[in-house]
Chains A and B, each alone.
Chain A
Amino acid sequence: MGLASLPPRQAPLVPQQWADALDAISTSRSPPIAVICGPKNSGKSTFSRLLLNSLLERYGIVGYLDTDVGQPEFFVPGCLSLHLVDECLPDLMKTPMREPERCIFSGDISSKRDPEAYINYIFQLYDYFLEKFNQSDDADSHRKALLPLIINTAGWVKGTGFDVLVELLKYISPTHVVQMRISVESKNLPTGAFWLSDKKRGSSELIELATVFNDSFNRSVLMRKNAHSMREFRLSDYFKRCFSSSLNISTNKELAHALASIPPYQIHFSQVKVMHLYCQVPKHEVFYSLNATIVGLAASSTVPTSSARCTPWCVGLGIVRGIDVKKGMLYVITPVSPCKLEKVDILFQGFIEIPTSLLQVRGCISPYMSTNVLHKLPEKDL
């Protein structure tokens, strides 16, 4: 989870153990499907990036299923995404934003609120990948080049997260399971094929790796605080793509100004459906709920036909920047290309909070940024 803003973590010297593991996975006979799991800050992302680079050497294109909605690798927070990566990552500390092959809007930064839906999202993306890129039907096995897949997980170790991981491993039964382990034993996942009941023998190859970072325990507090600003950074970065690079937007302030000025897309109420993922909002309150929030843009026509799971694919995020009830218009800012946008007829609202830096710029302060807000208790004696 290398971030630009983190305290400098020296470029990882790949330990022998890691190098062997990379080698084992990338030289396996069939295109591997590898799941990387382990506690937070154990080097999952770093390993999966290394693995990505090493698989790219052999396969040219590698699938990457990102299931960490809180700290996504290539896309925006709140989205599960499947990527087809065709170029090496030059910087292992920082990954550039990539347009996903397919993506589902989960609308939250963790799997905890609705683990069942979450698992289904993962399965749907996985099924899609299998069908398109990893299935050797007898008929066209000659034509289709099979692709390897890397599945990065969030730091699931216990509780709901652990259950999600077990479900995921059971369903996917990957060729390789890479488990990162840190020095604090209690924070690690159980050893062995923990997702299988004793009777069955798994076909997966298990690789357990020690983390290269010893300080992860101390850093975890710092990371948590950083995760929030990292999400804001990702979202800002994403909405920067609404503008041509010639505008040269570098600061948040410039971005906020640009977002306030850009002519948005307009769409009539009747042509989109608003769906709340996590709470019920009465019909006549929908606009109160929607204004100045981030929504997932999805198209109901794109529901996969072959899979039992049918969440509409998300094409990207948008900011509902204004609502004109008299005209019946929603005004949406989004970097999604017009041809993809044309199919969008669902706005998903979750809990992806709009970065406040985009709302408060001198002379352009959103009404939702307010002063005189009581946010602490009367601290008489505290």
Chain B
Amino acid sequence: MESNDSEGKMSSSVGYKLVPWVNWDEWNYVRRSIFSSSPNLILAALQKISAWESRGCLPIAIDLTAVIIEIHQKDPFFRGVGSIGDALASEKMLNMLYCMFIMRLVNDFVEPVHKETGRSISDIADAIGIPRTLVDIRHESSHRCLPSLKLARSASAKALEWLKANYWEPQRIAVHDPRRKVKSRLREMILCSAARHVSRVNSTNPKRKYCKRTALLVACHKLSHINKRLLASKADVLTVQKVTKRAAHLYSLYPSEVVSLLLEIFLSQAWDFSDGIDMENSDDSDCNIFKQFTGSLPDLKMLITKLSKKKPRFLLNMLKLVLEMIEEKDSRNFEIDWNHFLSSQNQVQMNEVSHLRSLLTFLIRNLKALKDSGQIRLAEENQILSIDNVAAPKVLLSSLLHKCLTLLVPGDQNLFKSALLLSEMSGNRLLTEELKKLPLLAFLDQDLDPLATLSYNESMLLKEEDSIKKAEERLNLIKLHLLNDKNKGKRFTNNTADATTRWKVTKSWVACPIGTLPCSFSSTVVLPIFDFMEVEREMDKSKTTSDNVENVCAAEENRMVCDDNESSDDSNPVKMLKLTPQNDDSLALENPCPMQGRLLIGGVWKKVSENELLSLDADIRTFV
């Protein structure tokens, strides 16, 4: 496939290189922050770069950018209002800093070539576009005396421009390409399958159309005409095998992009089938693109099936992403429930979740097929390390089942089916039997359907209160028992308590690349998230000021994302927004202690009122 040829003119490496950032989002965050006008963001970027530096493989261009930005932050001439830290008043010192920076810049980029080829410094600098002033300043300041501060300042600005033009911009383009490319490829593939689909339907039964799909079909029909012209014969020639092959290749190059984009397409299609609800929040330009080009659900599903046969890991990745999304959306729905009931937005959310749930069942059926054909193995809880079969991806059924069950809501046939399938796969007959009884419970709970409960609310509440009281009494009894047991046990266990070790070998572990964490249910890669540090810092009360800085950063980043005009290139606003899910809350800056009145719910710090806290407290007591 031609996909990696187009970068021929970039001097990016073909193979893998060690980098200090965990993904390009992190790199892009630093790029946007360091060139922003906000002192807080700049500080955050500089701090991130210092973390990168400690890893030892920092590109020189980033190092130098950090240096010059830091100097600029110290120079009253460049400093913006609200800059952090003290300004450096001594012009002599500033001048020396600038000259040192310029010397390093010229030397770092020119010297290696100079040593290799023997060409003159100015010659090489000219060839790579380093302004002559910089070369002169390097020469003057190392051999004679320092130039004027004024000159050094303007030269430093030129140097920064050079760094931007020769590192940051080309690199940004180089890494943004894949996602775009993947998108266009996927679009093309789905379009082809859609075209086929339409022609098939048309030829067999030209007049019969499903009422629900009419709109889509018309669109597809139109498209197929347009694209037949566009793609000439390409669309017709593309067989299913070819599409799959291409998709598989694409996946091997850009796994995470393919998975997330496919899911996006799926969801955007799900929209079309839901009953004419307007697209809200259509800030997502990707979605719109796909909306125009949607194929049909069966085609997409077929692609998923075929692709997972070729690349079993793809299925696991997809599964993981779907589960995560359901979880995330569920928690969001729960939150909405508190505020306004059944708004249209809520409805949309619910729809999305139900589509995701149906997709989950489909994926798990595929998983079963792959397991039966031996392409995915089952992992044991306490597996012994062996080297030969690490290549085949594994799945830990019990954890996956657990995950499904936690997401199960009453009356959800899809997830129930998934769970049943999983327990059948595990071969645990007892479990399957138990699971089969579950729907009965769900049936009993059916009355709890949000719409119906409105009228019952009061009586229900009374009942609940009653049962809670009873539960509390029982809990207290258990507590008493436990306390007694503990006191008895203490005499005996005292000696063994010392034997507990601090360094333990992890009990269950699924193979995953170094630098990542294992997914709880399969050998899918989980990228680490390090920004939950708030938990740590909450304990460290003295650090509250830095929390505030963080909050300001989050807010400013949010603003920056909004008025980031380059977003036509920076094609992924969704992702950027994802970086700061707690934005609305973090705007409340006046709070001197930002953690106060917050609880970590579903990974997000949320404001919790006193009453809510009390009710939570009660819940906790009942569930202990």
Contacts and interface: CB of A to CB of B under 8 A. Distances in A.
Tell me if chain B binds chain A.
Answer: yes
Contacts of B109: 377
A370 B535 CA distance: 30
Contact of A375 (B17, B128, B512, B546): B17
A209 interface: no
Nearest to B549: A284
B54 A291 contact: no
Contact of B51 (A243, A286, A321): A286
B528 A266 contact: no
A382 B22 contact: no
Contacts of B48: 285, 288
Contact of B514 (A260, A344, A370, A377): A260
Nearest to A244: B385
A265 B506 contact: yes
Interface in A322-356: 322-326, 328, 331-332, 338, 341-342, 344, 349, 351-354, 356
Contacts of A368: 18-22, 515
Contacts of B530: 287-288, 291, 323, 325
A260 B127 contact: no
Interface string A233-264: 00000000001000111000010011111111
A98 B26 CA distance: 40
B11 interface: yes
Nearest to B382: A263
B170 A280 contact: no
Given A262-B385, A341-B503, A370 B128 contact: no
A358 B51 CA distance: 22
B519 to A, nearest CB: 12
B210 interface: no
A42 B23 CA distance: 45
B19 A259 contact: no
A367 B527 contact: yes
A376 interface: yes
Contacts of B16: 356, 360, 365, 369-371
Nearest to A294: B56
B459 to A, nearest CB: 40
B509 interface: yes
Interface string B535-552: 111000001001000100
Given A265-B506, A377-B166, A379-B11, A370 B17 contact: yes
Interface string A271-292: 1000010111111111111011
B502 interface: yes
A261 B501 CA distance: 23
Nearest to B501: A342
A283 B23 CA distance: 21
B8 interface: no
Contact of A382 (B52, B127, B170): B127
Interface string B119-132: 00000100111000
A370 B19 contact: yes
B170 A289 contact: no
A265 to B, nearest CB: 5
Interface residues of A, number: 79
B261 interface: no
B89 interface: no
A258 B536 contact: no
A280 B514 CA distance: 24
A319 B55 CA distance: 13
Contacts of A138: none
Given A264-B505, A291-B515, A381 B127 contact: yes
Interface size bracket, B side: 35 or more
Interface stretch (B31-39, B171-179, B293-301, B415-423): B171-179
A326 B7 contact: no
Contacts of B529: 325
A324 B174 contact: no
A267 B59 CA distance: 32
B343 interface: no
A268 B536 CA distance: 12
Interface string B153-192: 0000000000000110011001101100000000000000
Residue of B117, B511, B527 contacting most chain A CB atoms (<10 Å): B511
A364 B512 CA distance: 6
A349 B533 CA distance: 20
Contacts of A289: 51-52, 54-55
Nearest to B130: A377
A285 B282 CA distance: 35
Nearest to A276: B54
Contacts of A269: 536
Nearest to B509: A263
Contacts of A291: 22, 515, 528, 530
B170 A359 contact: no
A372 B511 contact: no
Contacts of B385: 243, 247, 258, 261-263
B502 A267 contact: yes
A378 B166 contact: yes
A374 interface: yes
A378 B11 contact: yes
A366 interface: yes
Contacts of B455: none
Given A283-B543, A370-B19, A260 B128 contact: no
B50 interface: yes
Contacts of B17: 369-371, 373, 375
A367 B515 contact: yes
B620 interface: no
Interface string B568-586: 0000000000000000000
Contact of B18 (A267, A285, A324, A369): A369
B513 interface: yes
A120 to B, nearest CB: 22
B595 interface: no
A243 B385 CA distance: 9
A110 interface: no
A380 B514 contact: no
B170 A378 contact: yes
A363 interface: yes
B15 interface: yes
B357 interface: no
Contact of B537 (A284, A319, A341): A284
A265 B56 CA distance: 24
A248 B513 CA distance: 21
A379 B50 CA distance: 29
Contacts of A267: 502-504
Contacts of A46: none
A82 to B, nearest CB: 25
A200 B170 CA distance: 62
Given A281-B54, A321-B514, A349-B54, A373 B532 contact: no
Contact of A363 (B11, B178, B391, B507): B391
Nearest to A344: B503
Contacts of A353: 18, 56-57
Contact of A266 (B15, B54, B506, B546): B506
Interface string A309-323: 000000000010111
Contact of B528 (A322, A328, A363, A376): A322
18 contacts: A248-B387, A257-B511, A261-B390, A265-B503, A267-B503, A283-B543, A288-B48, A344-B503, A354-B514, A363-B393, A365-B513, A366-B515, A370-B19, A370-B24, A374-B11, A374-B174, A378-B166, A381-B127
Given A247-B385, A291-B528, A375-B59, 20 more contacts: A249-B387, A257-B387, A257-B390, A258-B387, A265-B506, A266-B506, A284-B550, A319-B514, A321-B514, A323-B528, A326-B532, A328-B536, A342-B502, A366-B516, A369-B16, A370-B24, A371-B14, A373-B12, A373-B13, A374-B12
Q: Which 6 A-B pairs have the closest CB atoms?
A: A292-B515, A285-B51, A261-B511, A263-B509, A369-B16, A381-B127
Interface of A: 243, 247-249, 254, 257-269, 271, 276, 278-289, 291-293, 319, 321-326, 328, 331-332, 338, 341-342, 344, 349, 351-354, 356, 358-360, 362-382
